[in-house]
Structure 1
Amino acid sequence: MKHLIQKLGLILFEQLTLKKRIILIIAAGTLIPFVCTALISNHAITLILNKHLNSGVQSNLHQVQLSLENTISNLNHVSQQLAYPGSVGMRLEQYLSAAQQYEKAKLIQDIQSELNLITFTNPSTGLVMYYFENDESYMFQNSAIRSDFSIDKLPLLAEYYGITYFGPHISNSMYNEQFVLSALRRVDLPGREGIYVYIESGFKLTQSILESDRIGKNSFHLILDNDQRISYSEAAGIFPQNTYFSMNGEPSEQTASADSGLMNGYYWFKGTSTQGWSIVSLIPKADYNQEKNRWIMQMFYLFALFTTIGLITSWLLWKMVYKPLNQFNMEMKNVISTRVHSPSVRTNIPEFTYLLKQFQNMKDQIATLFQEVELKEKRRADLEVEKLLYQINPHFLMNTLDTAHWLAVMNGQKEIDKLVLSLNKLLHYNLGKLGETSTIREEIDSLRQYLILQQIRYDFEFDVRIDVDDDVLDVTVPRFILQPLVENALYHGLDDEGYIRVDVKQRSHIEITIQDNGAGIAEDKIEELLSEQKTAREKVGMGIGMNYVKRMIESHYEGKAKLEINSEIGAGTSIKLTLPFREVKNDDERTGR
């Protein structure tokens, strides 16, 4: 398949004009390196941008994580002082156990005083109070409480070691509209259940870090609880609170275990605290790819520039070679129109000038040839009379065929050129006297020319397969021992589906086999072919029959050669010629020197 595609591509390329080839080659030479560079740089810039952006986001998430962990740690520390057996927790236990109003008033003052001290020494601490779960009441609050305050409405962040953390959420203090984190801790008073410490801590530091983490104007943040449920969302329309952070809003192990991904058109990056909750940074896909998109536009402009430069360069090169090519075209038209004496031309390109000069030399030679042809045509009438009286001079015939060959070449007559050239070669070989020796190589070459003439003459295709051992190519044999045998196969029933197989093998002797799948020859016909009973008019081809082959090998090899013919009507004929093997002699030995 790959070889077929390559071959098809080569054929298509060969059909392109010079102009299209110039454009294609320059475009390939210009754009392929550019495209390769662009792909490599795209991969590099993607890695750089991703690494830079990811590291920046993860760094900010880590800062947010540390800030939240510090806030939660502070809530834990403060709540520990208010729980039992902390100092304030112990005073609360005394207050709840006191029976005297005076003693209770004294304990209330002490508790308020210590709460104020704790609040003062922890500036980030906001609302502080004791919450009683049984009747949902509260005491010792350091600020007025909102009327809609409810523990159940607070967004859960994490829960461990008996402490529940909420947030971020709007403060439950009536005078505070800021986001806070809060903690609800069991006081664990002896013999008393359902008493908790509720504390809020400011969220301003964490919010400022979140603001600095924004990659674009549309980037957002989420805070997830231990179960990957959204406790805080800056993009509530897309990622609402109290839903799971996943594609379908349901718990997902894949999302929970991953640190980054793409969801709902946002790239997300997650940092998970050791306490189980997570911070998620959401970056719109467009903002995330902003730098890369800018680079892609720059590459597009460069691509357009390189394409324009390539096209202009191709056009200039085409204009540079178009004029010389056009001059070549005009010169060829002049030759076709027999105007071979047109003046020579020059170009501004030395190589083309040289080629045009060579072409002019060829025209001069053609003009000389035309003059010779005209002279021979002038004498043609006399030669017609002379041909009636004498046999055609064979050398003149070959020269004339050679002239016709050149005329056919000049006029683009390929079929005539092929016919004349093959006939010329065949006649040149046949001019040797019958009975002279030749070589198997020359016999095979003469046979090929003969087959070409027959295919053109009768205008039908037949398959001829010739297989000759290299070691016997230069062995001398009598002239014209192959052509009559193949000629016999052609004239006895071979059609378009026919084939002729010629095998020349070296064994202890030389074995020549000619096999065909024609109509076959009857036994009496074989005897007739070998006994020279045909008249001259009935002879075909060169007029040399199989009887000649039989007599020649008997004379040349002194009875040591053998000719066998086996034929079956409707199946074909096989002719086997067995010749004694003689070593190949060098040129000096052949000429007797």
Structure 2
Amino acid sequence: MTLKRRIFLIFSFNSLVPLICLSIISYYTMFSILSNKIEAGIKSSLMQVTLSLENSIRDLNHISQQFTYGGVIGNRLNEFMLAEEPYQRLQLDNAIKSDLNLLAFTNPNIGLTMYYFKSQGKYQFENFPVKHPFSPEQLPLLAEYTGISYYGPHISNNLLDNQYVLSALRKVELPDRDDVYIYVESGFQLTQNILDTDRSDSRLSHVIVDNNGRIAYSEVPDIFKTNSIFPDFDMGGASGFNNEFYWFKETSNQGWSLVSVIAEADYNKEKNRWFLQIALVSLLFLGVTLFLAWLLWKMVYKPLGRFHNEIKWMSNSRTKHNLEQTSIPEFDYLLNQFRQMKKQIWELFNEIEQKEKHRIDLEVEKLLYQINPHFLMNTLNTAHWLAVMNGQDEIDRLIQSLNKLLYYNLGKLGQASTIEEEIDALKQYLVLQQIRYDFQFNVRIDVDENVLKIPVPRFILQPLVENSLYHGLNDDGFIQVNVILNNGIEISIHDNGSGMSEEKIFNLLNSQTVDQQKVGMGIGMNYVKRMIKSRYEDKANLEIKSEIGKGTSIFLTLPIQGGETSYDQSACSR
């Protein structure tokens, strides 16, 4: 096992074992505390809602008693039923409605109130508009006692109210009729507000079960269906679990039961939140542990890696890499010793490179002396004067052009050139070629004056023009040379020769031996490629376009390097 793995393993083991033990003990302790807290809160709210519903039902019972026979309103109803004269019936009708409205106004917890005639299926003396049809038999029965039935929660029969209400239907007990009932509903939004008391976070739902175990009202019909028997009702359990829902039941003194239902995910939400906090703290603790292990690794293992990198860089590259210190004296001493050794090796490399470069320069110098340009120049001058004395104008012209071209080619080897000098050398070369060949061709040269003094590599124009001459240029042929200054030096050479194939163009741009044997005094396309590659790297671009039978175009773009602009300005000032 590596040192790095051992460090991380030891630190992780020493940190995680106590953390895991502490987390397990904390989890079971907090799980018990939170479970008791949640259940106590639900049961307390459940009891409060149950008491509120009981009080609402008691209010309905108390109010409905005032409408029965023996009370003021009940007696007037009996008189109304027995009255035969229209005027008397109208007076009693107004009096009953007035009493109903007064009673409803003085009891804000009361809503729709009216008398119901069961045998006829009609109602009368209502204090609010009634939804049609009205049928108490369709209401969810909550509890039933002698002479009175309780319904709900259900949607109000008040045409102006769509809230859930509780209602009561009590027999009036008239002497002459036994089919008259008083119907009373709870007040506006009273029942809905009671049911919303213990679910401010919308997690709890309610189910109301009558005294026979039948579900009279359910807010979760997918789990507890209305008119079905509540699970385990006969067993009398106060809580349970059914289909991923926890339920808690509270039985009222009136015999019906209220059940609070909560989804398992919501029930465990607080526990999961606490567990997440413990997990985050554990991750933070683990992160601190790993950070300490990383610090130890940085002090011991990382310096070893630097030794490895030093050795790798030494074998793969001559470039000197300045690495920061490790802040550990022992390692820093070893690194400094190693770098001193590298420095000595680099010095040996540089010494060998300098010797090799000096050897190559000596070979070039030897070659120049072998060529002996001064001897060639003097000999051509002698030939020039012989031609003048003998009246050989054509030979004189040929010798002068050759003399100038050789002077440019041999007299400044290794020195920089300019576009102006390249153009002059190109003109001398074209004079020699026109005398040499037995056909005439037209060469047009257009050069931007701003580019004349900019330095460029020597012999870049002549090989390009030479290419046009050697690839099918015949009588009436022309060569157009353009040199402009844009973002760089843009050189273009066009001819109307026989053109080249794509294969030939590919060979010219990619072969290392193209034109070496064919081109005479020119250095060739291969020289141009190598020269711009050496001078400009990948910043220059050489492109050839040709069409068989129509001609060839060569495009060369050279960047303006740092210092060339100032060179140009100083040259122009002279």
Query: TM-score when scaled to structure 1?
Result: 0.46
Query: TM-score when scaled to structure 2?
Result: 0.47
